[in-house]
Amino acid sequence: MKVVPLGSRLLIKPYEEEKRTSGGIVLPDAAKEKQMTAKVIAVGEKVEDIDVKENDKVLYSKYSGTEIKIDDEDYIIIDQDDILAKIEG
């Protein structure tokens, strides 16, 4: 299934969270902090003033966007104003 964001929205896929600490301790889901980095999957037609395109890595606001599930994968539809930074390198 293909999802095309409308207006000034983006479809992003959050990166998987680390489930172990560096010491090897497994963290339960409740103890993990929400991940705020994601890969841009699709960009709406009216996205302006930010230089992001598909496959870019971005930092986004912690509690923004609408979480959706497509083919058992988690995605977020987010407004362009909730993108805080583009991560390079």
Structure-derived torsion over alpha carbons of residues 68, 71, 72, 74, reported in degrees to the nearest 10: -30
CATH T-level assignment (fold) for domain 9-16+33-86: 10 Kd Chaperonin, Protein Cpn10; Chain O (2.30.33)
pTM: 0.81
Q: How far apart are CA 12 and CA 61, in angstroms?
A: 12
Instruction: Say how many CA atoms lie within 13 Å of 53 toward its Cβ.
Output: 0
pLDDT value for 16: 78
Q: What is the pLDDT of residues 13-51, one digit of tens each?
A: 998 766 666 777 776 665 556 679 999 999 999 998 889
Domain map (residue ranges) of the chain: 9-16+33-86
Percent of the chain whose pLDDT exceeds 70:
85
Q: How confident is the model at residue 59 (pLDDT cuts 50, 70, 90)?
A: very high
